[in-house]
Amino acid sequence: MSSEEVKMSRGEAYMLILRATWPALSANANNFDLKEVRMESLEEKLDFVLERLEYATEINTSLLPESRNDELASLYLTWLHRQPLVMFDAETFAESLPSRDPELVLVLQALCFRFPPQSLNTESRQQLIAMARKSRHLVMEKVFASKVDCSVLQTLCLLSLFEYTEGNVAQAGLHLSMAIQFMRGIPKGNALGDSAEFNNCLRSIFVLYHLQGSVSTGVWPTSISEGDCLVTNIWSGSGWLTPPENAIPCEMDTGIMKYTTPLAQVWREARIYASCRVFSGMLPPWNPRSDYSQVAYRHLEVDCSVPLKYRFSASRIVEQTPESLQQNRGHWGPYLFTQFVYASIPVILNHPFLLSMRLRNFRSTMPHSFINSSFDAITRHIGWIMYHLELMDRMAYQISDPTLAHIVVIVATIHLQHSFVDDSELREKAQLGFGKCLEFLQRMGSMWPSVSVMHENLQKLQQSIQVIPVPSEEPGMSGAPQQKFTIDTRILWDLLSYEQAGRSDAHIDQSMFCGLSSTNPDIGSNGTESGVGYDLVGSAGIIGHKTVPKDIPIYAPGEGELTAVENDRLDKDLILIETLEQNIRDGFGSVVPQQNIFPQAHDFGRAIDEWLSLDWGNSMF
């Protein structure tokens, strides 16, 4: 509709309403009250018609010309398809785009026209927000008219993703909740529209629910009972979110995409673990009934289910070129999703800050084996995340999944803690890793506003660290002065919660609410006070916790310490042992080809010969 047509339509509408109303006004000119009522009626009708005309004009001018349909389809298939959601059949999507409903096309524009990277600026972002707003208006009209179809579900799912990356968590949750509510109302054995596309949409909503669905308790109830934070209780009543049985096969059920769903489920449990408020009777993490142990168990279950062909050793990603990676984002996108999410769950479970909260009221001695296993878990899994991050940087492959950005934030917080340790090797490695995380988030922030805020919040966390000198316990002793560090724990905890990390003022969500005021400004979004005691900055993992025994050796006397001659003698055998250990413990990250997993006969013979040649006389007694 052209602007001239709009102006003519407005004038015609005004004249039609005026002609229809004026005779009644003239006939009752002496009746002032009736005339006033008629005038008010005229104004209301005119305002309504003009509003509808303006809205129709906006919608018509915002839809794509046919010449840009191919561009939109290409952007979607390159940057969003299978990363990690699947909404359409890649082979038919481009030709089906002109016949798609306006609300779906608008939200696709809002998500896709930020690509390629570096395309988003202040002006274009406002245009994308306007597109999403129009899409929301259209989809709600269909909802209120009881015309919910597959396009409505797809639109609500994509609107939820859009709002979440804008930092509007409450609105994102509203869209997602509506989609889930409609899904629950669909009779069993029925589908909306094309069965395969409908099933892909259903599973994408299911995955999105676990990736970004709310896990916060909010302000109601006001008191948290001991059972509220247990994973089993969180999951009770959520069984309907299981993918339907005997459904028509779809893309989300095949290949590597099949494993995004169970990983997303465990990721949600890890998010609950990270955001849960801790009560005094919290079970220690090594207790088999603790939330830590339950999530760790489910994480290992997923590890058992993934075939070797989807693991690192079979991927041959190091043999790829930048061109081949970019051309096959539909494969490498879900591969990176599985690698990052799988590795991030042990990192969250063993994050020193989250462990320290669960051990705040622990009065016994922490098991030494748990200290070692916890530090080993974060070290190994952060190593895999950083490996892939650096590899993608060398390959100039830009990750577009905002969920992976939050994983990098979590890793960066541990790098920041280790940036102040006494061990120079660990300190330098952590400082380098923290810088790489910041660079990645800055690049990804050019696509997603919430990631840009994560980058800013991480810098605020770094700036919040303060050094406090500690007086020596032995006066007169010379040497380097002791010191400890403080950090803003409210920012730290917000960064560990996906719902909070992408907002600049996370403890007040103003994306939907009007007139919010805090009744207790000292309490953060997760119920933590700013600056609450956390003295593990500068500590390697959890080893600096008050319950960790001091000066207790890891190995028995004579064990774990080899002479220089023995070291030289065992170098080759240690390479074999380390290779085997790495293959056993890395799960998704195995680097040994399948045919070399087990040692060969000559390896056993050489190892036995070397073992028999050792002098054990002084090592055992």
pLDDT in tens, 18-46: 454 444 444 444 454 555 555 566 666 55
State the average pLDDT over residues 289-294: 93
Query: Could you tell me the pLDDT band of residue 276, with boundaries at 50, 70 and 90?
Result: confident
Cα dist. 287→346, 361, 545 in Å? 16, 15, 18
Closest CA to 493 of 555, 573, 550, 413: 413
Sign of torsion over alpha carbons 575, 579, 582, 584: negative
Query: Could you tell me the pLDDT band of residue 419, with boundaries at 50, 70 and 90?
Result: confident
Q: Cα separation of 103 and 152, whole Å?
A: 8
Q: What pLDDT, on the 0 to 100 scale, is given for residue 296?
A: 95
Query: Could you tell me the pLDDT band of residue 486, with boundaries at 50, 70 and 90?
Result: confident
Q: Please calculate the CA angle 591-595-596 and round it to the nearest 5 degrees.
A: 60
Q: Cα separation of 338 and 316, whole Å?
A: 15
Q: What pLDDT, on the 0 to 100 scale, is given for residue 243?
A: 56
State the average pLDDT over residues 415-424: 86
Supply the DSSP symbol for 216.
Answer: -
Q: Cα separation of 46 and 230, whole Å?
A: 57
Give me the residue spans of the domains in the chain.
Answer: 3-62, 68-212, 229-471+482-509+525-552, 564-620
Cα dist. 386→344, 378, 521 in Å? 11, 12, 37
* Tokens coding 539: 């500590």
Name the pTM for this structure.
0.77
Tell me what percent of the residues of the chain surpass a pLDDT of 70: 64
Q: What pLDDT, on the 0 to 100 scale, is given for residue 580?
A: 43
Query: Could you tell me the pLDDT band of residue 562, with boundaries at 50, 70 and 90?
Result: very low
State the average pLDDT over residues 282-311: 92
58 or 426, higher pLDDT: 426
172 or 579, higher pLDDT: 172
